[in-house]
Amino acid sequence: MNQLVTDQNFELNNKKTINGWAFFDWANSVYSLVISTAIFPIYFLLNSPDLIRIFGVEYSNTSVQSFIVSASYLLIAFLSPILSGIADAGGRRMKFLKFFTILGAVGCSALYFFENETFLWIGIIAFALGTIGYAGSLVFYNSYLPQIATEDQYDKVSAKGYAYGYFGSVLLLLFILVMVMKPDWFGFSDGNSGSRIGFLLVGIWWLGFAQITFRRMPQDNQEPRKPGIVKKGLVELKETFFLVMKDRNVRRFLFSFFFFSAGVNTIIYVASVFASVEIGFNQTELIILILILQLVAIAGAYLFAYVSKIKGNKFALAAQIMIWILICIAAYYTTTKSTFYVLVALVGMVLGGIQSLARSSYTKLLQEEVDDLTSYYSFYDVLFKVSIVAGTFVYGMVLHLTDDLRSSVLALAVLFLIGFVSLMGVSFDNKDAN
C-alpha cells in the first residue's frame, strides 16, 4: 500500500486542531441547512413552473429538485474514488478539499442570479454545483478524523463537528430569515431579494470559515507530479476495495449505511416541501420547524455519542434507525401541525446522532494500520453519495408515479428497515458482540 503523504508528527487530540476541523462543519453546514433544507427548496418551488419538461417528459418541480440532487451525487460518486486515490498517491488531499469548497461556495453564491422562471437553468446549474462541491469536499474532510484524534475520541470529536455545524448554520439562517420576512429593513423590494442575498452569503460564509480548517489541518507533503499518478491512485483504490470486502464487519456496516443514509438524506432534502404541501406550513412556520430540528440535533449528536459509550455503537445506531422507521410511518398519517412539530423534534434528535455516529463508527471499524486513509474514506463517501442518488431517485419516481408525497415518504421506511437488518450482523466491540 502506498503510504499516505502528510505530516506524520502531527499532535493528536490537540484542542486547537480539533476545533479547526470542526469549523469545516460550521462552514459547510450552511449549504445543508439553507440550500438543501430551509430556504432554497421553497424558493425553487415558488420561482419555477409547476411542470418542467426534461427530454420530452414533464415532471413536477418537486420531482425535478430531487432529480438534480440525484444527478449531482451520481457525478461526484464516480469522480471521488479516482480523486481520493490520487490524493493518497500524490499527497494532494488538502488541495482537493480546497477545490471542492471553492466550487460549492461559488455554486451557492451563483443562486443570487436565479430571480424567477426566466433564469430557471441558472438556478438548476448553480444548485447542482453547490451540491457537487458539498458532496466532493466531505470525503477529504472526513478522512482527517483519524489524523487528529485517537480512537477513544472519535465519537466525541465527530459529534463536536456536527454540533458546530448545526449551531453555525442556525445563526446564518436566522439572519437570512430576517431579510426574507422584513425586506424593507434592508431596502429590498420583497422577500425574494432577501433569499437571493442569503444564497450569496452562504457562499461567502462557507469559503470564509473554511480558511480556519485549511490553516489548522495537517498540510500535504505534496510529491512532485509523476507520470501515471492517476493509474497509481486507481490501483491503490482497487487494493483498498479488496481489503474492505474481506472485512465482514466493514462490509456489512457499509451495506447498512447505504440504506439508512439513503433514507436520512432524502428526508433532509424533502422535509420542508412535505411540511408546506401536505401539512400547510407557511414560510415563517417552516423556518421555526427547521430551527427546532437544528437545535434538537445538537443535543441528539451528544446524546447518542453518550449512548454509544454506555451501550455500544451498534445499539445506538439500531435505536436511531428504528426511530426513523417510526417517523416515516407517522408522517404518512400526520395531518395536524401540532403532531408534525413532535415529528420534527424526533427527526432532529436522530438526525444529529445518526450522522455523527455513522462517521465515527466507520472509523472504529477500519483496520488499525491503514496508510491510505482517504481511499478508505472514499468507499464510505461513495456509498453516501450513491445512497442519496438512490434515495432521492426512489422518492422522485414514487412521487412522479403516484403524485402523492405521503406514499413517497412511506417508501423510505423500507430503506431504513433494510439498513436495520444489515446492522444486526455487525460487531463493533465486546458490547456489540452477537
Residue 247: give its domain's CATH number. 1.20.1250.20
Q: Which residues pair with 53 in a beta bridge?
A: 58
The whole-number pLDDT of residue 75 equals: 85
Is 2 domain-assigned?
no
The predicted model gives 384-392 an average pLDDT of 84
Is 321 domain-assigned?
yes
Q: Which amino acid is at 172?
A: L
Q: Which of 77-86, 236-245, 313-322: highest mean pLDDT?
A: 313-322
Q: What are phi and psi of 267, to 5 degrees?
A: -60, -40
pLDDT-derived band at 3, boundaries 50, 70, 90 = very low
pTM: 0.74
Is 9 domain-assigned?
no
The whole-number pLDDT of residue 370 equals: 53
Domain housing 389: 15-432
**Which residue stretches of 40-117 are H helix?**
40-46, 61-90, 93-110
Is 8 domain-assigned?
no
Is 1 domain-assigned?
no
pLDDT-derived band at 394, boundaries 50, 70, 90 = confident
Q: Which of 4-18, 102-116, 231-245, 294-308: highest mean pLDDT?
A: 102-116
Grid cell of 134 as nine digits? 458539498
130-185: pLDDT as tens digits: 999 998 888 788 778 878 888 778 778 887 887 888 788 889 988 998 898 889 99
Domain count, the chain: 1
The whole-number pLDDT of residue 241 equals: 75
Q: Which amino acid is at 323?
A: I
Is 401 domain-assigned?
yes
Of the chain, the percentage scoring pLDDT greater than 90 comes to 32
Contact call for residues 393 and 67 (beta carbons, < 8 A) = yes
- Average model confidence (pLDDT) for the chain? 83
Q: Which of 111-125, 216-230, 291-305 has the lowest mean pLDDT?
A: 216-230
Is 4 domain-assigned?
no
Is 10 domain-assigned?
no
252-281: pLDDT as tens digits: 898 899 999 999 988 887 888 888 889 988
Within 10 A of 403 (CB to CB), how many other CB atoms are there? 11
The predicted model gives 306-311 an average pLDDT of 87
